[in-house]
Amino acid sequence: MNSRRTEREAEAHTDTRAIGMDFRTWLAMQYQQKLFSKFPLFFRSVHYPVAYPSNLALLGIQCGLGWYSVIEVAAQEIEQELNSEWCNQVRVPENIASLDYDVLRPISPTFTSAYPIMHFCSDIHGASGRLEISVVGGYLCRPVTSRRIEEIIKGAQSHARTLCERCGSPGTFREGYWQHVYCDECIAPKLMPDSFDGEVITANL
| Separation CA 96–CA 90 (nearest Å) | 6
**Contact of 165 with 182, CB cutoff 8 Å:** yes
Q: How confident is the model at residue 76 (pLDDT cuts 50, 70, 90)?
A: very high
Global pTM value = 0.75
Asked whether the predicted pLDDT for residue 117 surpasses 80, the reply is: yes
What pLDDT is attached to residue 101?
A: 67
DSSP 130-163: EEEEEEEPPTT--HHHHHHHHHHHHHHHHHHTTB
What do you get for the CA distance between the two ends of the chain, in Å? 15
Query: One-letter amino acid identity for 46?
Result: V
Q: How confident is the model at residue 99 (pLDDT cuts 50, 70, 90)?
A: low
* Average pLDDT for 195-199: 37
* CA atoms of 98 and 28, how far apart (whole Å): 41
Q: What is the pLDDT of residue 23?
A: 76
Whole-number Å distance between alpha carbons of 148 and 134: 14
Task: Give me the mean pLDDT over the 81-103 stretch.
Answer: 78
SS3 call for 165: coil
Per residue in 11-66, pLDDT (tens digit) is 444 444 445 557 778 888 999 999 999 999 999 999 999 989 999 999 999 999 99
pLDDT of residue 106: 60
Whether 75 shows a pLDDT value over 50: the answer reads yes
